[in-house]
Copies of this chain bind each other. A is one copy, B any other.
Amino acid sequence: MVQVPIINIHGVLLVTIQDELLDDSVSELQQHIGEQVVEQHARGVLIDISVLDVVDSFLARTLHDIAATTSLLAAQTVVVGMRPAVAITLVELGLVLPGLRTALSVEDGLELLGRGNGTVRTGPR
């Protein structure tokens, strides 16, 4: 059973991956995030991969799929904290993950998702 904590910060789910995940856990995580987006009415998801030395093609594809899934559920996903070595490896593998948004830190990710202050600003009040 995967135990990836999901924390809600003003409508943005922060998912911190703390260990290299087994393939089963990755699929479970995808499902769990989808359910939490709906349940907690999240407008965004930040996936922190800063502890990972390696992102293999399976995990890379799953990150992409999670982003696509949350996008269908009206929440944007941003992957944060990718290490330079991981980025280089992904490019070498040809996994440039079109459509996946990234940010250097959780803070930048929250900024990208719109302040994290609990309001969705789509128009004037």
Question: Interface residues, chain A, CB within 8 Å of chain B?
Answer: 30-31, 34-35, 37-38, 41, 65, 68-74, 82-88, 90-92, 96-97, 101-105, 108, 111-112, 114-115, 120-125
Contact = CB atoms under 8 A, between A and B. Distances in A.
Given A123-B124, A124-B123, A72 B96 contact: yes
B104 A87 contact: no
Contact of A91 (B72, B86, B88, B92): B72
A65 B91 contact: yes
Contacts of A85: 31, 34
A65 B93 CA distance: 11
Contact of A84 (B69, B88, B96, B124): B69
